Structure formats: C-alpha cells, structure tokens
Structure 1
Amino acid sequence: MMNRYLLVLFLLGGVGFFFSETASAKPRSSILPVSLRCEYLENPKGLDVSRPRLGWLLDATDAGAFGQRQTAYRVLVASTARLLAKEKGDVWDSGWIVSDEMQHVPYKGRELQSDRTCHWKVQVKDERGTVSAWSKPAFWTTGLFDSGEWKGKWIGSDELYNPAASDNNITDPWLRKTVELSTKPGKATLFVASVGYHELYVNGERIGDEVLAPAVADHTKRASYVAYDIAANLRQGTNVIAIWLGTSWSIFPGYILHEDRPLTPIVTAQGAIFEEESPQGDAKPLATVVTDASWKTHPSPNRLLGKWDFRNMGGEIWDARREIPDWNVETCDETAWRAATEYPTKLTLSAQLVSGNRLVDEIQPVGIVAQPDGSYRVDMGVNFAGWTEVHVNGKEGDTIRFQYSEREQDAMTFNLHSAYVIGAGGKGTFRNRFNYSSGRWITIRGLDKAPAINDISGWMVRTDYRDAARFECSDILQNWIYDRVRWTFENLSLGGFIVDCPQRERMGYGGDAHATSETGMFNYQLGAFYTKWMQDWRDVQGTEPMVGNMLDTNYARKAMTSGRILNNGVLPHTAPTYWGGGGPAWGGIVVSLPWFMYQHYGDKRVLEENFELIDRWLGFLGSHTKDDILQRFGGQWDFLGDWLWPNATAEGMNNDKPETLCLNNSYYVFNLRTAAKIAEVLGRKAEADQWGRQADVSAKAVHARFFNETDDSYANGSMANLAAALLAEIPPSSLREQVVDRLEKEILDVRGGHIHAGITGGALLFKFLRDEGRDDLIFSMLSKTTYPSWGYMKDNGATTIWEMWEKDLPGHSLLHSSYLYPGAWYIDGLAGIKRDPQHPGFQRFIIRPPVPGATSVSWAEAVFESPAGEIRSKWKREGGQLELALTVPPNTVAVLHVLPEEAVAIQQYPTITELGEAHGFLRYELPAGTYRLNGL
C-alpha cells in the first residue's frame, strides 16, 4: 500500500486496473473549528447564564492556501459525552446555520437546568461548502439559576471584628463537615460563595489551584460562588469536607455597613452528590451537602495583619504552635471544635463568570544583604504583587517578621508586613494564603543566621486570563516600555478588576480604567474579565462616592465621607470598592468600556446589559448642567479633571480652575457621543437622537466658553484639554485642523516632545492620537529618556510603571495603573494591527504600518490573538523599501494601508484586490492566508 494511493491489480484477461484512493475520498475542508469558548471561557463551571454564548476560532488545514472562510456552522450540545460522541444533540442541535459568525453564538436549545453538564462541539462549512471535521469536544456546567434553590446557610465563627481596634482581632476560621456515602460517586459539584476569601478541601486534598477565591464583588449586595467538582476526591464511607476562610474583604470599610452581615468572614455552600450523572436529572442523590449550624469551626493558625484598609492592607501571621495537621481529615479530634454560627445574611448569589486568581511567574531573589541591625535584606529583582514563601529556622515561640518595600532605602512601604511564629519543630515555612504583598525588597527580622537564597521564592498573583499578543521591534527602549507596561498591568489585575495599586488602596478606579482597558484588550483575552467588572459598576450605581479614611463605627455611610445611598444614576469613582476620589471621567467608564468591548470583541450583549446603567449615568450628569455646561457637583474629591501630570502635586490638582471644568465638560460630550453610537447599534433611535443632539449643543457651549482664538487652544492649552476636546469633537469642523496643529505644537515645541499629561488626560491623548494615526507624536513622547517620560523611569531603575512621573515624592506607589496607555499602541500603532471601526470583532481589520519617518524604528513584529484568530504582522524598511509579512486568519479579511510611494507588488497573489486610494493611502484587500509583500 502506498501513502496516497491504493494499487489493486486484477488480472482479468490480462488487464490491470489502478484505483486512486483520492478518486472516491471526500474532499477535505479548508478549515477546522478550534479553541471552543463559552462566555469567553474555556470549559467554564457553574454558569448561571440561561442562554450562554458560544464561540470558536478556525484553523487552516492547508497553511499555504488562501481565502479560507466559514459559510455555515452546526452546533451540537449533549447531556453526556457518550451522546455527543455519537453525534446526538439531545440538548441542542442547531442544524446548519448559514452564517460566518463564530463568536457570541447564542445557545438556543432546551431550557437549561441547574447543576448539569453540557457537552458540545461544532463543525463548519468552508468557502466551497465542504463540511469540516468536528471540533474537539468542550463543555460547560451550569450553576443554580433560581435563588430559591439555595439551601445553604451563611455560616462562620463567632469571632467578630472590632473596627475600633488598632489591628485585626479575629483569626481565619476552619469549618468542617462529615459526610457518609454508601458508594463512590460519579458526580458531585459543590457551590461555594464567601464574603472573604476561601479554600476548599475534601479528605485533606485542596480542590483546585485558584487562590484568593472568589473574585471580589460588592459585598453590600452580592457574593460570587465558585463551582468545584469534588467527585474524584470523595470515596465510599466517611468523607470530610472542609472550608478555610480568610478575613480579607469581609472587614473592608466600604462594605462594613450591612444590616444583616456580620463583621467576620462567612460562607454559604451546597451541593448534591450522585452515583452518576443523569441526563434527565431525575436521579436521587446519595447525599446533599449544605452549610448550617451542624458544621464545626475552629480558629486556624493564620490571621490577617492590618485592617484591609487604606494604607493598612497588612499581611498575615502564621502561628505554627497552633497547627492541627489533620484538621481537614477524618482522624481530627473535634472535641475542642465548636458549632458554626449561622448568620441571616441577604446577598445576591451569582456565578463567578471570570477566571480565578492563580500563581504565575515564579520569582527568585537576586541577592541577600545582612543589615547592621541584624536583619537581612532580600532583593527579589523586580517589583511585583503576589505571594512569597520563606523557609525559616529558630526556637519555638520565635517570631520571624517580613517587611515589604518598593523602595531600596525603606525597610517597609505602605505597612505591608507578615510574620511567622516558630513551632515545636524549630523550623517552618511562611507562605501567603489570604493576603498578598507588593514590593521588590523583603526585610527579614528575627533570624539567627542568614537565609539561603534558595529558601525564598515569590509568585505574581493575578486573574488567570490568557495572553493575546507578543511584540518586538528594533528599538530597545520601546521593547522595555512594552514589557514593563505588560508586567505592571498583570500585577494590577487581581480579583476580576484592575486595582489602581496593589499595596496602598486596591480599588477599581474608573479613571484608571481609561489608562488600562485598551492596553488590556490588545494584549490579553479579557472579555470575561471586563464583563465581570461591568457587573460591579451596575452594582455600585446609586451610591454617592466615599472618600477618605473612615474612623468610627458609622464610617461606611458617614456624611463627611459621603457614601449615601441615593438610588439615582450617580456613580462612585471605583467599583466594586466605592472608595476614592475622581470625577466625571471616572464614572464615565461605564459608557466607554462597553463601547471599547463592542468594538474589540463584537459583543452586542455588553451594550444591552449596561444600557440602563449608561442611561441613568447620563441622566445624573444632565441634572448637573446649567446652560448646557456641566457644573461642579459632589464633595471636594468628586470633580477631578486630569490627575498626576508632571509636577501636578506642586501645581494643585483638585481645584476649580477653568482647565478642570473644560476637561470634564469635554468628557461629558465624549460620553454623550459614545452613548449615541451605542443606542444606534441597539436600534434605540430615540436615545440616539437625544444624546446626539445634547452632545452637539453642549459641544457648542464648551467651545464658546473655553476656546482661545489667539492660539487655537482650549482652557489652559494643555495636552489634556486639547486632546479631550478633539476626542469629543468639540471644535467646529472649520477649526479642527488648527486645533490638531496646536496639539502638535504643544507636544513638539512647548514640551520638547515630552508628555505633559496625567492618568486621565494622558489616556485621552493617546486614544486620540492612536485613532488619528499620529504615530509620530506618540513616538516622540515614548522615545524620551529625560523627565517626564517612560525612558526616565527606565534610567532610574524602574521595574514597574510608577504612579507619578516623579519617583521620590513620598507616599506614592511605584507599581500603578497611571501610565499604561502606550500598551495598546504597540499593537495597533507600531505593529499596525488596527480595528476596523465599521466591523467590530476583527473579522475585518486594518494593517497600517507607521509611515516613513514617523518613528526611528526600522522593523516591528507582533502576533495578536484577535477575537477572530491569530493575526501576524512583521514589517521592515531597508534601503528605502517596505517589506511586509502578514498572516490573515481564516474567516477574516485584512485591508492593508500603505502610502502611494510604498505601493507593494501583488501579482503573485491573485486573491489580493486593490481598493484604490483613500485618505492618502493605497488600500489592498487580503483574504485569509500568509503573505510576503515587497515594494514595487
């Protein structure tokens, strides 16, 4: 037998016959569905979405072919893997749907039942109508759809936190329950929701590798549950299910006033245990598990240090003398354990629709130095937020202390510290469990001798999302900025939202989201992450911002710090955390982020789910206008404009100057114009017209009040105000180019090519320049190495991006969300992979390398895992000629933009179509395939 042909020789009357296998074989499809996702996640567990959306990507079966595309799809969903393998979709068989859609495909099968597994796969037809092979199978499991199905009680220990104490006074409690089973089960899911972090154990084994679970939610209203598959850990006979609670967010001042929630970590859990999964759902469970007063509790050896408060997030102390090695197995003596306390808490329970936190990027020390005071200073080599592990030795009762610092000259910054009390064995290991630290240096006190360098390890902790990009170019500084922006972003993405800083506040500022969200989307797969964060914003709406430190028992709603529940469209400046100051651009993220998500992912549901949120927010802003100008509202910290521009602390930021009012009004118009686009997409014509008209009227009012005719600027002529006005389309069309020229002059001449903007203004500036294609102005700011610049940070030893352009001002962090907005430009600017505004979701996208002379970069390359597949772009200029290597994924189309003087030869690719010239660029349409193009 040959490789592709079967030779059969029949000697019939001396005649030989040769049969080709390919003559009768089915033609092979050009594409294969891969990377199946449900609600943006791979094989998610516990979804409470009644009509989840499914998605997939496509692989080309012949990498050398062109024009591969999907013309139809068929989805099968089955109740068991066995039925799915037999191609029986007893839950849903979509039949053949004529469509090129491969993302956000809504499930339309039978009504889903709680606590079931849905097995699914997909096949597609290619451009010739050829049917592909089936994808590999995937699954999702359902959660509990009806709140009435929850039977578990909220339980915890009887230790209560004392807000007046100088430090946390309660331990992290253990809870356990014994369950008898007549046989080993085949199906068992335990749903666990907690206020405060938790870990789950079954018969002594930790379930899952998620840490700091669950993702943070607004614990005045909601708790998220995690679904754990525990069947493999259960056995016939006696089983012990144990939960370890961490204090953490249960005592956060922003959540502390809740009529029926105690000031202690609490948990509710339930699950049914079955001999095997029943497709019909009619099997009787072997046992059910619910939390109630029959559970036993005991203090663990672990306790939170600090108060989970502004500048006092603390750490943890482990007392090894209190260890009970068998606390979570059958042999444990429960004599000293007490009955758990039930708490009649009312919170909305919903599934955690985002990946949990995990340990990534193990970090090893680069040096240890003995200090004159007997301590040891450990240099971890990089600033990071996460866990540390230290092996220690000493005498029983010795306390070994760990202090964490971002600054080499300081033993401790922001009161971050942990401790370990040595037990009877004389040695042990400190390792974080329910808190994390942030810094580069660790000062260890209490050791008799220096630790070995291999006694110490660290890990970044972050939400477990996937990468979406890789980038590199000829410029060393640009590679450093890109790398450090990404590293900083990852260290801020804990708990399903972006914290402003992991050491001082840990709050989800809306203004900082503008500095991070598009950087996040162009570099990571964050659809689920941002969907979850938008739920947090919906939860906090209607509550006035809370700012400042709250120092008495009524502090959660104290008048001087606001926090009043107004039940209108007002938004605090952070979500889900309430605290912190900000301005209209902070709350305005509820308009901008859904729109960015729609443009990037093609996700229409995120617009629908947040439409009421947007409507109420704009209604609130509209109620604070006079003569179509937004007026200052709220308290001292509720109307910030730009924040932390160079030398801002000396100039004063929280003020009533015209530049603040101008920027906030420009942002108000930007919100209105964005909301009008959202309404248009959703077919909400009345709102689209209303917001569009209001935007035009307010734009005229802002221009009339703040435009400076003498130099074509706005207010104080700052980059922030010029960019905000342009982004909001404030200038009349007859003046637009003059204002753009004025912005260029501000950057290049007035500021010598340096940036002179902060968190909000800088994000708006980079957004406008990216949209405008002004790579030259962006590169000018990113290529500087003198103050203020990212290069200045590099030359001053930064390993993460700072909070301020100044390094040495006390009280400010060196790992912060402030200036991460360049991260998107490296992909959509320098690498040239751009969204097509008319085609959300990247099934049609633009490739536009920077024009000659815009940068000094001679080559750049990126791999971008877009929502529609992997895009590759590499360009270089050599000898005055442009060379391009492009990969366009199946089922997508790229439109290449180049200047006429850099026209490319396309004769070898008949599939390329010339589209003619527009806006100064020649345009070429490239269907799926891999291309190498050179100048003519």
Structure 2
Amino acid sequence: MHNKGSFHPYDLRCEYKVNYLGLGERSPRFSWKLHAEGRDVRQSAYRLQVSTGGQEIWDTGKIISDQSLHITYAGPALGSRTRYEIRVKVWNQHGQESDWSEAAYGETGLLDQDEWRASWITARFEQSEPCQLLRKLFTLGDNIVSARLYATSLGVYRVYVNGESADDTLFAPGWTSYNKRLQYQTYDVAKLLASGENTIGVMLGNGWYMGNLGWNGLSQLYGNERAALLQLHVQYKDGREEVIVSDDSWRASKSALLMSELYHGEYYDARLESKGWHNKGFDDSEWTQVSLLDYGYDTLIAQEGEPVRIVEELQPVQVLRTPNGETVVDFGQNMVGWVQFAVEAEEGHTVVIRHAEVLDNDGNFYTSNLRTAKQTITYICRGDQVERYEPYFSFQGFRYIQVEGIRPELIATRVVAKVIHSDMDQTGTFECSDELVNQLQRNIVWGQKGNFLDIPTDCPQRDERMGWTGDAQVFMRTAAFNMNVAPFFTKWLKDLAADQLPDGGVPFVIPDVLRGRHSSAAWGDAAVICPWVLYERYGDRRVLEQQYESMVKWVEYIRSQGEQEHLWNTGFHFGDWLAMDAPNGSRVGSTPKDLIATAFYAYCSALLAKTAAVLNKLEDEVRYTELSERVTEQFRREFVTPNGRLASPTQTAYVLALMFDLLEEKHRPQAAAVLASYVEEQNVRLTTGFVGTPYLCLALSKHGYTDLAYKLVLQREYPSWLYPISKGATTIWEHWDGIKPDGSLCEDPMNSYNHYAYGSVGEWLYRIAAGLDTDVQNPGYKKVRIAPQISEAISYARASYSSMYGMVASGWERLEDRRMKVKVVIPPNTEASVMLPGAAMGQVVESAVPVAYAAGVHSVRQTEAGVQLEVGSGEYEFLYVFK
C-alpha cells in the first residue's frame, strides 16, 4: 500500500481483480478500500475517473455516496483491446478530501466476435494420442510497443513465444460448458517478442474437452478433435499494427507426450523430443501442414474465473521403504498438483511415479480408492545429463508418491511437489487454543485448495473430479471466508445456468458431463443458494441479476414436481448422503428424502423472495414469499405433529427444521432440546451426512446450545471432525471413517481423503466461535456483526477476514479471575454491531476508558446475553469480568 497520508483510497479493483488484462465485461464495476488512521471514518463522497491514451472519457464528478464497492462504469461504450486507466479520490464525513489513488487499469479483450480473424487449426493424426505441437514462424519490425496474444483451444493448451511460456497459468482455457461457453485468454507478450524472426508454439492436450471424464470410461464428451485459435496483435511505435493469426500456414507434429489424461497421468518419451520446437531456428520442414476446423466463435467469452497456477512447493518429509518393498516419498500433506523430478540415466531408462493419498494399515502404498484413475507419470529418458520433468496437462491428488527408476538415496533431493489450484486471494484465518482445531482449519483450507481447480470439484484423485452441486453448495460459505471465491463461483454459476435443463432441472454436476442425471434436493438448490451467498458475502447484486432467471426456473421446477401441492415428494434424491444413521448397506441416511426435499423447497423459495426484494421485483417478492409460507405450512402438516415433534427422529430432520425456520415459534425451543438430546444420546457424536452436517453446529448455537456445539467440534472419538486428525489426516475426508479405529480402510470404491463437504464446519468456527460475520441487511461487510459465543472448553479464539472494505477481525481470550478480552478490527467505511458476551455495562473498558465514553462507540446497551455495542471503524480492545 502506498501511503499518501492518513486518509486515502487504495487497492482499486476492476471486477474483483487488480489490473485486469482481458476484461470481457462491457459495464465493469470498480471497488476500493480506504486507509484511515483513527476511528469511525466513513466515506461521504467519491469521484471516479476513467481515461484511455491520456484522454479522460468518464468523470463521475463528486458523487455524494458512502458506496465503495461495485460502482458500475457508466461512460461511453468501451472499445475492444483498449487499456483504461482508473483512479478514484474520496471524501470522509468531515469533508476531508483525499489525494487521487494510484492508477489501476482494466484492459478489454476482444469484445465482439467479428474481431476474430484467426482460424481454428488442428493436426489430423491420431487425435486421441499423442499430444500435438503447432508452430508458426513470422517476422516483425522494429520498435514494438505493445503485443497481445488472444488464445484458446478445444482441449487444453500451452502457448510459447520464442521458447518461453506466454505466462505462468495452467490448464487453459479452463473447464466450462464448452458447447455454450468457451473462455479465451489474453497474454501480454511484448517482452517475449523481438524484431526479426519470432515463433509461436502451441502444445495441445485432451483435457476436459476430449479426455476421460467420469467413472464409466467415457471420453470425447464435447468433441473428437483438438484445435487451437490464436490471434496476436502487435503495435509499433509509429502507430502501425500487425496481426498474426492461426491459419493454414502453421505447421504441426506429434509430441513426445504420448499420453496425457487428467485422471491417468502422462507418458512422456524424451527420446522423441523435438528440441527447440517452440523457438526460432528450428527446422520444421518434416512437420505437416495443419488443417482448418469450422468451429466458429459464437461460444467464445473472455476468461472469467481466476487462472490456475502453481501456488507453492512442498519438499519431501521422508523417504520410506514399505513392507512390500516400494520406495515411497511422503510430502507430509495431502495435496493436489504434480511432482517435478530430476533423473540422470542412460537412454531408454524409465522413471515411474505413482500417486496415493494414504498408506494402508500395513504401511503399503494404497491406490484402490482411485478406481480406474491411474495417476501415474511415466518418463523415458533421452540419456543426456540431468533431465527434469513435470506434467503438462494432468494433475494428481496425493500425499505419497511411489518412485521407480531413481536411486533411493537420491530421491529426497530429486523430487519436489508443486501445489496447483485456482489462484484466489486467501482472505481468512482462524485459530484457537486447541491445536487439533487449528489442524482442522488447515485441513479445511487444504481441501479447498485441492478441489478449487477451475471448478469446485468433489475430490481430486479418483475417476470423478466433477463439479458436484451439492458439495459446492454446502461448503460455499466456509469457502468464502477462506478465499475470495467471487470470480470463481460467478464463472461456475454461469455454467450452471447454461447447463440447466429446459424444465428448470439442475444437473448433479456442473459442467454437466453425467448427461441426464439431475435435480436432487440440496444439490440442484445450488442454483439459488450459491448466488445468494455471493451477494451476502461480497455485496454483489449483479450476480443475483445474472442468475435470477436460473433461480426462478429451479424453484418453478420444484413446484412442478410434487404429487401433492407445496410438497416435493417425487424423483430421485441423494438424501442425507453418507450419514452415519444410514441403514446397513446404504449410503443414504435415515432422514426421509421428501422431508429434506420439502425443507429445501421452503428455504430456496424464501431466498428467491429475498432476491426479488433486492432486485426490486416486488410482484415476485410477494409471489415467492407466499410460496415459501405455503410450503412451510405443508411441511408442518406432513412432517410435524401437533405438539411440534418431527415425524423423523433424526439429527438432520431437526437441524433442517430449525435452521430453515420451518417450525412454529412455540415449538422451536422444544425441537432444539430434542436435537440436543439426540446428540447427547450418541455420546456427543453426530449422525449427520452431507445435508445435515453443514448446519448441525449452527442450529445448536442458534437455539442456545453452543456449549454442546463446542463439545461436538472438540469431540476426538469417531465419528467427529477431529477423529481423522488422530489418524494423520491433513485434508477433510469423504467418510467419517475413511480410516477406521482399527486402522483398516473404508470401502474402496468411494473413499476420498480430500473431500471438502464436511469442512463446512469452518463457517461455524468463523461465525460462532470467533464471532465474525456480515449483517445480511448490509451485505458484503458494509455492516460487520461481531458476536463470539464463548466456551470454557478453549481459552481463546480469533479470526480475521480480508473483506472488500479491508481487514475485519474478531478475537476473544479468557484471562485470569474470569476477566475477558475481546479484540475487534473494523475497516474504514463500515460499522459494526458488537456483542460482548457475559459483560455488564458498567464494568467494560475499552483501551482503559469506560466503554460508554470510548471513541468510535455510538451506543451501548445491556442485554441478557451481555453488552451490545454499535461502533464505527477502528481497532478496539474490550476488557471486562465475565459473568
């Protein structure tokens, strides 16, 4: 942050991104943060300016407003391939004017399809294997001042300019519903070009477009030919422009990468390498001419989500010799990415790297849970000095690798694991006095890293790795604490809308590669819940506008399903998937599926009504409010006795009824007591699955049973969140008993050790244990809610969150003599409601001042729960004796 005095705007962003290259939005939005010393600082006005080429094109003038998020550009229409400089200045509530912020930029991509001059090119030989190489030699003049390469592919691609990668992103163009939406990428390649001869090289692999997807061995789900589309625009100092495009003058060859599959790994024969193929001076006279593919441009969109990158590296923790005689490397962390290795051997020598998440009960390498996924890298040496290899188009889920072909004593210095995921800003931290809970938080974050690779996958290792809607929906609020997931989910939700069926049904997975399998309750409800979470967490109204039609279609689909009005009691449902109370031999919990489906029907129609209110669709607000009320009434008639007991005596049934406010007010205390008794009858253990678990602790805390929620979270015996940690877990498991108490492993066919759904308890850690939340009436942390619920079971808890306004923090610590310390950070241009639990008004001091007189404190009142404060921005430290 550049300091321009005590009060200034910084971190100016365009559509969530700093200096956006390849912007495809014609009405982009701008957001900024305020740096301010002291307390209770608010923005009273702002002025935004946008210019291009030194010419100002839009000046808002001084706008009286406290808004600093998502200010929509309203100037002249933006042009393609144009860089726009953005700057902002602000005024505080005292009329103090800041300096201009540092300039940021948004540079548009190709906004109109008719600007594509390039042709789709392909090499028509053995399309499934091996990977293809494409190249073009061309000549440029002197004095290049700018160069932009726009590129995409059918398949996945890497692009090189004069032998160098165009940038550090991976798995382009990403995974979308390709037949409807295909992203292109924008690269700044000016520094890679030179006057005279230059070369562009492209490597093409199968990826999601053509490769194996799903557990049925299917491939070529989107098409049967790989292809590339590239367009390079070079600007010279004298104003001239030169355009190099993919066309039939390009040359093609097979590569040394003989097999590359997302699930299965890669087979690379270095003896077949065309050394220097992507550089100038290479002789491609024996290469073949490319063919043109008539594919068109109508599905092309600019890159929307965050790109995938190598984000960190892990070194080996130890090299093991298993009882079976396997040489195995332990990286100490279950992760997603790949291994780079080095080898020095004779020509034809083979190195094989296999990947696994765990060792079995005997300490041997365990891969049965991968099903048909091979996760194997095979490398054939060319035999000259030290050779290094890492995959191009395949990723693996693993903690352990089995190595063949590198001498055991050299392995520790010859391998490194590279962690790969969508490169989202990490925004949240949580910690407390219990180190196992801290490990749980780390496991949740690592599960998110491993499964947020361009789409939110269920698991990253076996022959699945799909965008399961239910998993994404239950984990999303936790995800939004840990990382900035707004662009990531905005992209994915557009694919959900694109793949939604004509009748409004929502596929189980997005993008939809299971074709014809769709519309389970709690899974399809992602269509409504996920946009609402983005609005709630980021104040993003536009995502509601974009998804509104999809949200309505989903609720109307449910309305059309029930055999009885306002009840959803038909069709296939996953139910409370993998619940502990499932009958023997079943993966579906005991909670009736129609109870779950109707509960989500009521919840989603209520969220849709709230969405309609936000968007000023008043008739829809009335319509869906009434619908939700009628579904709730029908839920009570069908599933609740006159005395308020649920027909289904399961934890999940009570959790949903309490969490979604489906019971009459008078029955809720009794229902909460029943839920608590069910937990206690299990010796403080859960019996919930994918549907009930995310809400279990929240429902208990909402109704006065926070002590029991803490006991659940801190439970170390199976089944619990901490039990897997006792078995060495470094990510969240799919099953509560992925490794059983006796050391044996759960069922092979469905036993992922990196499955984030149960990591949804992270929301409770942030919101309840640390007490950090946003006020839904003032979303995106415009108004912060600080309300920690304190337990004797731990001595402190604290969380921080880097919001769109700046850092928010909440933490409490129990001191000696029942004294309590609560520390809070509220960013400028926001305010907060702060609850000090167990406090008496006359005994609270803030920075040694009686709280009623503390700077920034607007109001103080005593409640049964403690002292309730309304405060402005700033850092606060409250001390009091806990009642």
TM over 0.5: yes
- Choose which of 828, 831, 844 in structure 1 pairs with 2:767: 828
Report how far residue 427 of structure 1 moved: 4.7
Q: Is the 8 A contact 1:380 1:440 kept in 2?
A: yes
CA distance in 2, matches of 1:921, 1:501: 45
- Choose which of 881, 888, 907 in structure 1 pairs with 2:819: 881
- Choose which of 917, 921, 924 in structure 1 pairs with 2:869: 924
Secondary structure (helix, strand or coil) at the match of 2:522 reads helix
Amino acid aligned to 2:328: R
Amino acid aligned to 1:683: N
Report how far residue 898 of structure 1 moved: 2.4
CA distance in 2, matches of 1:448, 1:487: 31
- Choose which of 479, 482, 487 in structure 1 pairs with 2:446: 487
CA distance in 2, matches of 1:95, 1:337: 59
Q: Is the 8 A contact 2:444 2:756 kept in 1?
A: no
CA distance in 2, matches of 1:493, 1:483: 15
Count of residues in correspondence between the two structures: 849
- The 1:253/1:305 distance shift into structure 2, 3 A limit, reads closer
- The 1:907/1:667 distance shift into structure 2, 3 A limit, reads closer
Report how far residue 378 of structure 1 moved: 1.4
- Choose which of 523, 531, 535 in structure 2 pairs with 1:598: 535
Report how far residue 348 of structure 1 moved: 0.6
Report how far residue 229 of structure 1 moved: 0.7
Secondary structure (helix, strand or coil) at the match of 2:872 reads strand
Q: Residues 467-516 of structure 1: CA distance to partner in whole angstroms, max 9, x if unpaired? A: 11222211112111111111111111101434444433111111101332
Q: Does 1:245 align with 2:204?
A: yes
Amino acid aligned to 2:147: A
Counterparts in 2 of 1:542-691, with a 5 A limit? 542=501, 567-579=502-514, 583-634=520-571, 638-646=572-580, 648=582, 650-654=584-588, 659-691=592-624
Report how far residue 254 of structure 1 moved: 6.4
CA distance in 2, matches of 1:581, 1:651: 24
Amino acid aligned to 2:780: G
Report how far residue 252 of structure 1 moved: 4.2
Report how far residue 871 of structure 1 moved: 1.4
- Choose which of 653, 657, 664 in structure 2 pairs with 1:721: 653
Report how far residue 750 of structure 1 moved: 2.1
Amino acid aligned to 1:205: E
CA distance in 2, matches of 1:257, 1:718: 39
Q: Is the 8 A contact 2:774 2:782 kept in 1?
A: no
- Choose which of 26, 29, 32 in structure 2 pairs with 1:56: 32
Secondary structure (helix, strand or coil) at the match of 2:531 reads helix
Q: Does 1:425 align with 2:384?
A: yes
Q: Does 1:786 align with 2:702?
A: no
Q: Does 1:211 align with 2:170?
A: yes
Equivalent in the alignment of 1:351? 302
Amino acid aligned to 1:668: Y
Secondary structure (helix, strand or coil) at the match of 2:813 reads strand
CA distance in 1, matches of 2:485, 2:587: 32
Q: Determine what percentage of the aligned residue pairs are the same residue.
A: 28
- The 1:900/1:803 distance shift into structure 2, 3 A limit, reads closer
- Choose which of 829, 840, 847 in structure 1 pairs with 2:779: 840
Normalising by the residue count of structure 1, what TM-score does the alignment of the two structures yield? Answer: 0.87
Q: Is the 8 A contact 2:209 2:220 kept in 1?
A: no
CA distance in 1, matches of 2:686, 2:226: 45
Q: Does 1:290 align with 2:245?
A: yes
Q: Does 1:327 align with 2:277?
A: yes
Q: Is the 8 A contact 1:155 1:291 kept in 2?
A: yes
Q: Is the 8 A contact 1:403 1:417 kept in 2?
A: yes
Q: Is the 8 A contact 2:566 2:630 kept in 1?
A: no
Q: Residues 304-347 of structure 1: CA distance to partner in whole angstroms, max 9, x if unpaired? A: 355x5xxxx11011110011221011111111111122221245
Q: Is the 8 A contact 1:658 1:715 kept in 2?
A: no
Q: Is the 8 A contact 1:713 1:739 kept in 2?
A: yes
- The 1:899/1:797 distance shift into structure 2, 3 A limit, reads closer
CA distance in 2, matches of 1:268, 1:35: 34
- Choose which of 822, 831, 834 in structure 2 pairs with 1:893: 831
Q: Is the 8 A contact 1:123 1:131 kept in 2?
A: yes
Q: Does 1:463 align with 2:413?
A: no
Q: Does 1:156 align with 2:122?
A: yes
For structure 1, the 5+ residue unaligned runs are 1-27, 84-88, 162-168, 278-282, 543-566
- The 1:797/1:253 distance shift into structure 2, 3 A limit, reads closer
Q: Does 1:706 align with 2:661?
A: no
Normalising by the residue count of structure 2, what TM-score does the alignment of the two structures yield? Answer: 0.92
Report how far residue 914 of structure 1 moved: 2.3
- The 1:175/1:68 distance shift into structure 2, 3 A limit, reads same
Equivalent in the alignment of 2:848? none
Q: Residues 166-201 of structure 1: CA distance to partner in whole angstroms, max 9, x if unpaired? A: xxx411111111221122311111111122221111
Equivalent in the alignment of 2:235? 274
Report how far residue 364 of structure 1 moved: 0.9
Report how far residue 728 of structure 1 moved: 2.6
Q: Is the 8 A contact 2:150 2:185 kept in 1?
A: yes
- The 1:253/1:322 distance shift into structure 2, 3 A limit, reads closer
- The 1:902/1:292 distance shift into structure 2, 3 A limit, reads farther
Equivalent in the alignment of 1:66? 39
CA distance in 2, matches of 1:649, 1:276: 74
CA distance in 1, matches of 2:727, 2:408: 33
CA distance in 2, matches of 1:294, 1:893: 61
- The 1:47/1:771 distance shift into structure 2, 3 A limit, reads farther
CA distance in 1, matches of 2:660, 2:408: 62
- The 1:900/1:798 distance shift into structure 2, 3 A limit, reads closer
Q: Residues 23-50 of structure 1: CA distance to partner in whole angstroms, max 9, x if unpaired? A: xxxxx97521111111111111111100
Amino acid aligned to 1:77: V
Secondary structure (helix, strand or coil) at the match of 2:830 reads strand
CA distance in 2, matches of 1:650, 1:258: 35
Q: Is the 8 A contact 2:22 2:109 kept in 1?
A: yes
Equivalent in the alignment of 1:438? 397
Amino acid aligned to 1:358: R
Amino acid aligned to 2:27: R
- The 1:246/1:499 distance shift into structure 2, 3 A limit, reads farther
Secondary structure (helix, strand or coil) at the match of 1:439 reads strand
**Aligned alpha-carbon RMSD (Å):** 2.4
Secondary structure (helix, strand or coil) at the match of 2:665 reads coil
Equivalent in the alignment of 1:75? 48
CA distance in 2, matches of 1:892, 1:672: 30
- The 1:449/1:833 distance shift into structure 2, 3 A limit, reads closer
CA distance in 2, matches of 1:342, 1:855: 70
- The 1:771/1:222 distance shift into structure 2, 3 A limit, reads farther
Equivalent in the alignment of 2:290? 340
Amino acid aligned to 1:291: S
Equivalent in the alignment of 2:479? 520
CA distance in 1, matches of 2:323, 2:819: 61
CA distance in 2, matches of 1:929, 1:604: 27
- Choose which of 742, 752, 755 in structure 1 pairs with 2:674: 742
Report how far residue 373 of structure 1 moved: 6.8
CA distance in 2, matches of 1:746, 1:652: 21
Equivalent in the alignment of 1:23? none
CA distance in 2, matches of 1:815, 1:703: 38
CA distance in 2, matches of 1:775, 1:372: 46
- The 1:703/1:58 distance shift into structure 2, 3 A limit, reads same
Q: Residues 514-573 of structure 1: CA distance to partner in whole angstroms, max 9, x if unpaired? A: 33211111111121111111111112111xxxxxxxxxxxxxxxxxxxxxxxx2211101
CA distance in 2, matches of 1:439, 1:830: 31
Amino acid aligned to 2:275: P
Q: Is the 8 A contact 1:45 1:143 kept in 2?
A: yes
- The 1:627/1:919 distance shift into structure 2, 3 A limit, reads farther
Q: Residues 697-726 of structure 1: CA distance to partner in whole angstroms, max 9, x if unpaired? A: 12122221122467x443432121111122
CA distance in 1, matches of 2:591, 2:772: 38
Secondary structure (helix, strand or coil) at the match of 1:486 reads helix
Secondary structure (helix, strand or coil) at the match of 1:819 reads helix
Equivalent in the alignment of 1:552? none
CA distance in 2, matches of 1:647, 1:734: 28
